[in-house]
Amino acid sequence: MEYRKIKDEDKDEGAAGDDIESLRNKSLTVPRGNVATIGGGSNDRSKWKCKTIVTFALTILTSSQAILIVWSKRADKYEYSVTTANFLVETLKCLLSLAALARIWKNEGVTVDNRLSTTLDEVSVYPIPAALYLVKNLLQYYIFAYVDAPGYQILKNLNIISTGVLYQMILKRKLSEIQWAAFILLCAGCTTAQLNPSSDHVLQTPYQGWIMAIVMALLSGFAGVYTEAIIKKRPSRNINVQNFWLYVFGMVFNAGAILIQDFDAVMNKGFFHGYSLITVLMILNHALSGIAVSMVMKYADNIVKVYATSVAMLLTAVVSVFLFGFHLSLAFFLGSTVVSVSVYLHSIGKLTR
Amino acid sequence: MEYRKIKDEDKDEGAAGDDIESLRNKSLTVPRGNVATIGGGSNDRSKWKCKTIVTFALTILTSSQAILIVWSKRADKYEYSVTTANFLVETLKCLLSLAALARIWKNEGVTVDNRLSTTLDEVSVYPIPAALYLVKNLLQYYIFAYVDAPGYQILKNLNIISTGVLYQMILKRKLSEIQWAAFILLCAGCTTAQLNPSSDHVLQTPYQGWIMAIVMALLSGFAGVYTEAIIKKRPSRNINVQNFWLYVFGMVFNAGAILIQDFDAVMNKGFFHGYSLITVLMILNHALSGIAVSMVMKYADNIVKVYATSVAMLLTAVVSVFLFGFHLSLAFFLGSTVVSVSVYLHSIGKLTR
């Protein structure tokens, strides 16, 4: 996973050799203080390139994550503690951010933008997304009293709509009418692609289930949009520092979850009980996709994130045909068609707004 | 069903009293030769009104047609001969066109545009749509060797795509990119709305079935587009004369079908064997919707026709919930959402092209 920072290229717009590596090397000569991010003032082409790379990385990582989950379920290797795994994911993300920072410090020296030390004003907002996710994950235990697991998969598509609404409300960036139409289609298309003969059960969900599903969608959407707001608030701040602080609080909250939920199991059976190769791969993959999500927030936005993860869902199904002999349903083809049209409309919607 | 002709209003643009009836009365003073149609030169508002009325009529008639079919199936009243019913539909349409013409002749006198007599050049193209529909109906008997009835309902949605392709190719009227996206969505949405647990069978359709389905979609699309071309070729020609000639050939071809398929049954049991109140209502409804289709061809186009019949399909399902206690599936809601977005995109697609 390539998640190094790409530097300002104000002095070298549209240069021939503007691939990531050459940008990185050239930027070594850029003076201190201007060692900023792609977010502010770098040229459009490298911006676009960076956005494409992180989006592509997120799509592939999300897709392989889902494949690892299917694999682990089929191999019946699900006896490890989820809370310890989540804690390790946050720890790994933290370490990877520090490693990236160490490299940057060695090459460029410590600057205002890439130093780890921070102010209370800057750091005070970082626990909020982690706290929101914690509340959402707690709710997840209760919603299963009203909805079964396949039904929950269907209801999770409400995240798409909540992200769109909160994105426009909180970040004040307007989606065009066509982009809104595309977003509704994305939600309908993803749900259609996941339809199976028992999906109609979801319509019998009691109102408590609907309310919880909507609250969870809002929490998840809000956490995503809030993370974007935090990261974008300081465009010149190095993304690895921003990630470090996000993940430190992720570690803290997940350590709390271990204490509350799995303290006895960890004490009796050990921290790594039930871990296998698949578990390690899943932790690695989760860590990398977590970093990819942060990168998408920095260089793109929540809308791109939703598209990337939706396309990943379709990609997973196609890959599963070859890996696990899955059959694709007619609903899957129809849903994929709708999602494809949605991606197209989103891209042309930008031009006409 | 109001299907009287609306006259040119060149001299009275944007007048207060431009409802259909007042237009009709005013136009009595318009000189011969200018007693033309809405198609050429009348003001935009009355054009739009006429288009809306015929589209609305087609939607309601198509929807109630489907409800009558469900009703007749539930009442087990399906023992009448379909070919005799089809013949009666064509005859009724012919008589209704003549009645409308008689009224026009009485009010306005016989003109070049509303006289029934015609040239070989004009009339020679009229049998083509009827012949195309006949070939399509013949193929319908053979396709059931490869596809079951619910599968055929799914495959029939290919008509939407074939109509769009042939409309653009033959009538040389370009759909915008957004309108094409909307058209693909319309096809996917209608199919999604019709999904049921056994729909996946359709993916196992042998290639002969696919080829026949595609050929039938092309025949049906071509017949529709060709009818529009015939009707639009002479914009000033009275629609009732054009309908008369279309339906005369419909009668001829359907008489042929009786002779080939049901001659013995008609001879032994009689022409009206098995007819009931529902049958009569169905014939009446088919005749009126046939006329509505012609009107849509004259004042709107095949694209509007496809949208009207697709929306009618959704309307039928909703009405069936109240009439027959049907349950709506999640797939229906998703498909309806996609169709609604498609209608919206089609309307804004016009503005941006």
- What is the pLDDT, as a whole number, of residue A21? 35
Residues in chain B, total: 353
A316-352: pLDDT as tens digits: 899 989 888 888 999 999 999 999 999 999 999 876 5
- To the nearest 5 percent, what fractions of chain B are helix, strand and coil? 75, 0, 25
Residue B1 resides in a domain = no
- What is the pLDDT, as a whole number, of residue B68? 84
Mean pLDDT, range A145-162, rounded to an integer:
88
B256-276: pLDDT as tens digits: 888 988 888 889 988 888 888
Mean pLDDT, range B175-198, rounded to an integer:
93
B207-233: pLDDT as tens digits: 999 999 999 999 999 999 999 999 999
Do A289 and A90 contact (CB within 8 A), yes or no?
no
A250-273: pLDDT as tens digits: 999 999 988 988 888 889 988 888
- What is the pLDDT, as a whole number, of residue A140? 77
Judge: B178–A341 Cβ closer than 8 Å, yes or no: no
Judge: A344–B197 Cβ closer than 8 Å, yes or no: no
Out of A197, A202, A345, whose CB is closest to B181? A345
Total CB pairs under 8 A between chain A and B:
77
The Cα angle at residue B131 between residues B127 and B135, in degrees rounded to 5: 175
pLDDT at A35 over 50: no
- What is the pLDDT, as a whole number, of residue B203? 87
Characterise B7 by phi-psi region: left (phi > 0), alpha (psi -120 to 50), beta (else). Answer: beta
Of A218, A219, A46, A64, whose CA–CA distance to A132 is shortest? A219
Do A308 and A323 contact (CB within 8 A), yes or no?
no
pLDDT at B38 over 60: no
Residue A1 resides in a domain = no
Mean pLDDT of chain A: 83
- Per-residue confidence at B78, pLDDT binned at 50, 70, 90? low
The Cα angle at residue B242 between residues B241 and B245, in degrees rounded to 5: 85
Judge: B330–A197 Cβ closer than 8 Å, yes or no: no
Out of A185, A192, A327, whose CB is closest to B341? A185
Domain count, chain B: 1
- Per-residue confidence at A75, pLDDT binned at 50, 70, 90? low
Judge: B330–A181 Cβ closer than 8 Å, yes or no: no
Domain span at residue A122 reads: 10-352
Token pair of B283, please?
């014939």
Chain B residue with minimal CA distance to A182? B341
Residue A2 resides in a domain = no
Residue A274 resides in a domain = yes
Token pair of A188, please?
């309908």
Q: Which residue in B148, B195, B334 has the most chain A C-beta atoms within 10 A of its own C-beta, making it the best mutation to test that interface?
A: B334
Say which residues have a Cβ less than 8 Å from residue B263's Cβ, sequence separation at least 6. Answer: none
Of A10, A30, A209, A216, whose CA–CA distance to A111 is shortest? A30
Q: Which residues of B touch A197 (CB under 8 A)?
A: 197
Rg of chain B over Cα atoms, rounded to whole angstroms, equals: 21
Judge: B192–A341 Cβ closer than 8 Å, yes or no: no
Residue A5 resides in a domain = no
Distance, CA of B254 to CA of B259 (rounded, Å): 9
- What is the pLDDT, as a whole number, of residue A130? 87
- What is the pLDDT, as a whole number, of residue B79? 74
Out of A195, A327, A341, whose CB is closest to B181? A341
- What is the pLDDT, as a whole number, of residue A2? 31
With an 8 Å Cβ cutoff, the interface of chain B facing chain A consists of 154, 177-178, 181, 184-185, 188-189, 191-192, 195, 197, 199-200, 202-203, 329-331, 333-335, 337-338, 341, 344-345, 348, 352
ipTM value greater than 0.95: no
pLDDT at B234 over 60: yes
Q: Report how far Cα A162 is from the mean position of its chain's Cα atoms.
A: 15
Judge: A334–B154 Cβ closer than 8 Å, yes or no: no
Q: Which residues of A touch B353 (CB under 8 A)?
A: none
Distance, CA of B258 to CA of B85 (rounded, Å): 10
- Per-residue confidence at A219, pLDDT binned at 50, 70, 90? very high
- What is the pLDDT, as a whole number, of residue B42? 54
Token pair of B27, please?
């136009």
Mean pLDDT, range B177-188, rounded to an integer:
95
Chain B nearest CA to A199, separation (Å): 7
* A45 against B230, higher pLDDT: B230
Give the three-class secondary structure for B280.
helix
Do A321 and A327 contact (CB within 8 A), yes or no?
yes
Mean pLDDT, range B234-249, rounded to an integer:
93
pLDDT at A108 over 50: yes
- What is the pLDDT, as a whole number, of residue A76? 60
pLDDT at A24 over 60: no
Percent of chain B with pLDDT over 90: 49
Residue A140 resides in a domain = yes
Which residue pairs from B210-214 have beta carbons closer than 8 angstroms and sit at least 24 positions apart in sequence? B212/B139, B212/B142, B212/B143, B212/B146, B213/B143, B213/B147, B213/B152, B213/B155, B213/B156, B213/B158, B214/B158, B214/B162
The residue behind tokens 């006949």 is B134
pLDDT at B353 over 50: no
Do A6 and A38 contact (CB within 8 A), yes or no?
yes
Distance, CA of B307 to CA of B297 (rounded, Å): 13
- Per-residue confidence at B352, pLDDT binned at 50, 70, 90? low
Q: Which residues of A touch B337 (CB under 8 A)?
A: 184, 188
Mean pLDDT, range B135-161, rounded to an integer:
85
The CA-atom distances, in angstroms, between A52 and each of A38, A56, A305 are 13, 6, 11
- What is the pLDDT, as a whole number, of residue A68? 84
- Per-residue confidence at B75, pLDDT binned at 50, 70, 90? low
Residue B5 resides in a domain = no
Residue B119 resides in a domain = yes
With an 8 Å Cβ cutoff, the interface of chain A facing chain B consists of 154, 177-178, 181, 184-185, 188-189, 191-192, 195, 197, 199-200, 202-203, 327, 329-331, 333-335, 337-338, 341, 344-345, 348, 352
